[in-house]
Amino acid sequence: MVLVSWARVNPFLAFLIVSITAGLLLGIPLDKVTTSVQKGLGDTLGTITIIICLGAMLGKLVADSGAAQKIAEVLVNLFGVKYIQWALVVVGFIVGIPLFYNTGFVLMVPLIFSVVYKYKLPAVYIGLPMLAALSVTHGFLPPHPSPSALVLIFHANMGKTLIYGIILAIPAIILAGPLFARTLKKIPSTPLATFRAEELPPEKLPGSANSFLTALLPVILLMGTTLYLNTDHTQGNTHKLIAFIGDTPIVMLISLIVATYTLGLKQGKTMKYLGTIYGDAVKDISLILLIIAGSGAFKQVLTDSGINNSISSLLQSFNLQPLVLGWIIAAVIRISLGSATVAGLTAAGILSSMVMHDPSINPNLMVLSIGAGSLAFSHVNDGGFWLFKEYFNLSITDTIRSWSVMESIVSVVGLAGVLILNQVV
């Protein structure tokens, strides 16, 4: 934080410097430090590069083709400019249920910016509530990786966890989204130019159905394949094919291919023109990818050094209510490492035996308590922090007072909701 905010060092370089320094100071052997850094870089990029790059291409095409403009106009006509923020929250929640956070982010950003530019509204005020909805679904609700894994670890019930999660998600999104965003109207933000498409005349816009279906095709594919896989347990060839199609990188590739036709070739665009759009999209997010990779290197060094286990063991020695303890352990690991998924899984590993041997602990609520803790205070070691900062073109200070505080509100409201539910279920 000192290097980035005070010394003005490039965030990627700052992460490399701190990762190597931390590895040496925490006792990782000299010949293993660079290996740890490289593993963190590779693992992080390996999981998100395809998703972010294809999502950026799809997002830029949705913006440049006028599809985002058309979607924004339809939403405003339905809800009115006064309630457009709530419309985006609803879209963010629906989209967020099946989509991994990074995917949902890069898909929804063009829609947010289209509304911002067309109606001259404050970007953070309009965008943060939708992103709060995406974040809540990522931390609370199956089929996202962390909640789904926690359900299995604690032998919880997937259906009950989903129902309880939705009950908690609604107040968390409202408080951390539209209500909190009212305090952020004056934050200056000039969003990333790549998603600022020129407003097209009505006759050049794609149709409403084409715009919605193409932009939401990843959601439709993921929801459809997830529903099928949850009902078909035969493990036959059809099941394997659907599982392959439902893999997020494949979903994004299929969606981009379809969009290339429906929003590109069908609208009279040439492949050369579309290639330029896709190339520009990747150029604009290349630094973001490096920053996220840097945060992954830092996380790996802390993990390989064992310091995350030391922190967790210290917390476990405290005599606290188990649901509160689960939240605290996940929150501290999240703040230390930056990864919500790693925080959730690490906390679950520590508390799994306690939950298994204590029938008074509701495993479904423990999943949600740890999920809420894993969202606490996202800052400079979290890829989501940098996605928001760079796409919305904010300062570190403004990102903390908007994004980091929003995530913390979600986390605290989630814990409060878990403790209330624990009294009635």
- DSSP state string for 304-326: HHTHHHHHHHHHHTS---HHHHH
What is the DSSP annotation of 111-142?
HHHHHHHHHT--HHHHHHHHHHHHHHHHHHST
pLDDT at 331: 94
Which of 5, 212, 197, 265 lies closest to 94 in space, CA to CA?
212
- Which region among 30-34, 36-40, 143-147 has the lowest average model confidence (pLDDT)? 143-147
Taking all residues of the chain, what is their mean pLDDT, rounded to a whole number?
A: 87
Q: Mean pLDDT over residues 402-423, rounded?
A: 97
- Six-digit token pair at 333? 């690991």
- Here the tokens at position 198 are 């020129």
Residue tagged 């759009």 (tokens): 277
* Dihedral sign of CA atoms 44, 316, 136, 241 in order: positive
Model confidence at 418: pLDDT above 90:
yes
Can you give the pLDDT at residue 197? 57
pLDDT at 168 over 90: yes
Q: Would you state the pLDDT for residue 196?
A: 63
DSSP per-residue letters across 198-260: PPPPGGGSPPHHHHHHHHTHHHHHHHHHHHHHHH----SHHHHHHHHHTSHHHHHHHHHHHHI
404 in Cβ contact with 377 (< 8 Å)? yes
Per DSSP, the three-state class of 195 is: helix
Spatial contact of 370 and 344, defined as CB atoms under 8 Å apart: yes
Output the six-digit token pair for 336.
Answer: 């230390």
pLDDT tens column, 43-76:
888 867 888 888 888 888 887 888 877 887 888 7
Residue 104: its pLDDT value, please?
79
pLDDT at position 4: 75
State residue 291's pLDDT score.
Answer: 81
pLDDT confidence band for 316 (50 / 70 / 90): low
pLDDT higher than 90, residue 378: yes
H helices present in 338-382, as ranges = 340-357, 363-373
Q: CB of 290 within 8 A of CB of 12? A: yes
Residue 262: which pLDDT band, with cuts at 50, 70 and 90? Answer: very high
With tokens 């604009």, the residue in question is 284
Q: Do residues 123 and 408 make contact, with C-beta atoms less than 8 angstroms apart?
A: no
pLDDT at site 421: 97
Give the three-state DSSP class for 404. Answer: helix
pLDDT, greater one: 376 or 352: 376
279, pLDDT greater than 70: yes
Residue 342 sits at the vertex; the CA angle it makes with 217 and 56, to the nearest 5 degrees, is 30
- Please tell me whether the peptide bond between 143 and the residue prior to it is cis, using omega within 30 degrees of 0: yes
For residues 313 and 252, which has the higher predicted lDDT (pLDDT)?
252
The CA distance from 321 to 223, in Å, is 36
pLDDT band at 98 (very low <50, low <70, confident <90, very high): low
Q: Which residues contact 270 (CB under 8 A, 6 or more apart)?
A: none
pLDDT (average), residues 131-138: 92
- Per-residue pLDDT, 368: 97
